[in-house]
């Protein structure tokens, strides 16, 4: 249909769910192109008026010799046909089953492949003359594969950027409502904390700004900032807001800058639960830096502080180190009652390997009598018994149950809700 003679003109029309794109070719040269909004209720007269006006603006305007249309909007096929028949006194060619594109479709039912994806594949192969993957960022994002022989091998469709963004904003708005309801005392508190955690994970600039404003309002409130929920304190909320702000900062300046900021505030104790939660999510050598600080700490206070921060990391590489701390706290100069932080860390990593490591470490500690001292007892439980109770209350199950249920590697998704509640920022 398109020749290199330079005389024949082709009007190519791509009708998508959001936009309709038109291109006017003379031979292989693109003379002009336009983008219009796709409206499913457009009439043939409206289409004809729009196209006629666009073509008149082309210098040396003359009617195209041919028109070809690829559409994924079935309701516009008839008005498109009528409009071009009215304008040019001929029917346009539609990309549809039966049209000869020169590209074999390796599907049992070739008609299932959208016209937009076929023309994308044909154009890409014509351009590169070899195997390729074609990506089209439209209302939906499509990935299509063309073989070395110029065959359409298939592809996938995923939600487009705009659809994903709309879903993201809608989800974030719902999360704010859940958090606000909990803070006002009308909703579930744990669900409110988890909603704030999810907002932090979104790393949205808009919600980081909202968190900053909310934090300023709380910090500057002359009285109780939560009059509808007087039992709530700023310390219950501020760490979560700090996490939202810091996670957005990670997206802007990177992990290294955020790590340097948090580390600079550790010795002055100018950090909170939200900082610790974000710290545990950082790369950039954060885990190694904290482990080195724990090993070199000169006081009990700093050893406990750094071990507590290490318990926020989910890096499986920490499993043998935390298990060693639990079994031999004395070798690290750690006061024994604080070894429970190592237990927290293994639970937080949340894999079958970390659960097994904690179970094995407990067995070794029991056999060696590491925690038998009377001053380590809590109520009527010894240290390990108290830790057992803590494990069940935080995760909802005992270690052996988790070991049976969890996969051999990867995060413990089923641990998430009950465990995450204890460490939501």
Cα(9)–Cα(64) distance, integer angstroms? 5
Q: Which residues, in sequence order, are bridge partners of residue 155?
A: 144
E strand or H helix at 343: helix 340-349
Q: How far apart are CA 216 and CA 376, in angstroms?
A: 42
The 3-state DSSP class for residue 127 equals helix
317 DSSP 8-state letter = G
Q: Which long-range contacts (CB under 8 A, 24 or more apart) does 357-362 make?
A: 357/319, 357/320, 357/322, 357/323, 358/323, 358/326, 358/391, 358/399, 359/399, 359/400, 359/403, 360/323, 361/323, 361/326, 361/327, 362/326, 362/387, 362/399
Q: Phi and psi dihedrals of 66, rounded to 5? A: -145, 155
Calculate the alpha carbon distances from 184 to 178, 187, 189, 235, 364 in Å: 10, 8, 10, 15, 47
First to last CA, the chain: 62
| Strand arrangement, sheet containing 29-37 | 29-37, 19-26, 9-15, 66-71, 93-94
d(CA 97, CA 61): 32
Instruction: Residue 100: count other Cβ atoms within 10 Å of its Cβ.
Output: 5
Where is 155: in which H helix or E strand? Answer: strand 152-159
Residue closest to 324 by CA, chosen among 363, 275, 302, 357:
357
Long-range contacts of 164-170 (CB under 8 A, 24+ apart): 168/202, 168/204
Question: Is 272 noted as a catalytic residue in this protein?
Answer: no
Distance CA 152, CA 371 (A): 67
Catalytic hit among 41, 91, 116, 380: 116
What's the rounded Cα separation, in Å, for the pair 8 and 4? Answer: 9
Enzyme catalytic residues: 116
């Amino acid at each position: 249909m398109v020749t290199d003679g330079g005389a024949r003109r082709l009007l190519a029309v791509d009708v998508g769910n959001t936009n309709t794109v038109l291109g006017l070719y003379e031979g292989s040269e693109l003379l002009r192109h336009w983008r219009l909004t796709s409206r499913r209720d457009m009439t043939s007269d409206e289409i004809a008026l729009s196209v006629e006006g666009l073509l008149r603006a082309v210098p040396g305007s003359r009617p195209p010799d041919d028109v070809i249309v690829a559409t994924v909007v079935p309701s516009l096929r008839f008005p498109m046909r009528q409009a071009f028949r009215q304008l040019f006194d001929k029917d346009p060619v539609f990309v549809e089953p039966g049209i000869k594109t020169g590209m074999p479709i390796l599907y049992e039912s070739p008609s299932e492949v959208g016209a937009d994806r076929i023309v994308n594949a044909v154009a890409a192969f014509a351009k590169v003359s070899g195997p390729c993957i074609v990506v089209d960022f439209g209302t939906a994002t499509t990935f299509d594969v063309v073989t070395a022989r110029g065959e359409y091998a298939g592809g996938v469709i995923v939600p487009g950027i705009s659809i994903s963004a709309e879903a993201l904003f809608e989800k974030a708005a719902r999360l704010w409502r859940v958090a606000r309801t909990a803070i006002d005392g009308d909703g579930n508190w744990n669900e409110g904390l988890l909603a704030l955690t999810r907002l932090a994970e979104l790393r949205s600039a808009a919600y980081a700004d909202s968190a900053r404003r909310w934090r300023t309002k709380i910090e500057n409130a002359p009285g109780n900032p939560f009059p509808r929920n007087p039992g709530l304190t700023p310390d219950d909320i501020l760490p979560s807001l700090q996490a939202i702000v810091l996670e957005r900062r990670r997206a802007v300046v990177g992990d290294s800058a955020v790590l340097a900021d948090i580390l600079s505030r550790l010795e002055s104790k100018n950090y909170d639960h939200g900082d610790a939660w974000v710290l545990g999510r950082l790369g950039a050598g954060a885990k190694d830096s904290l482990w080195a600080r724990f090993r070199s700490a000169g006081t009990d206070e700093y050893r406990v502080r750094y071990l507590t921060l290490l318990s926020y990391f989910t890096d499986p590489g920490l499993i043998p180190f935390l298990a060693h701390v639990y079994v031999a706290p004395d070798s690290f100069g750690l006061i024994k009652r604080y070894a429970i932080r190592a237990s927290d860390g293994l639970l937080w990593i949340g894999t079958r390997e970390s659960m097994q490591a904690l179970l094995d470490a407990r067995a070794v500690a029991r056999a060696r009598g590491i925690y038998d001292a009377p001053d380590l007892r809590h109520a009527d439980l010894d240290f390990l018994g108290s830790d057992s109770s803590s494990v069940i209350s935080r995760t909802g199950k005992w270690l052996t149950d988790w070991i049976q249920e969890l996969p051999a590697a990867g995060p413990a998704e089923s641990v998430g809700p009950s465990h995450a509640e204890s460490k939501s920022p």
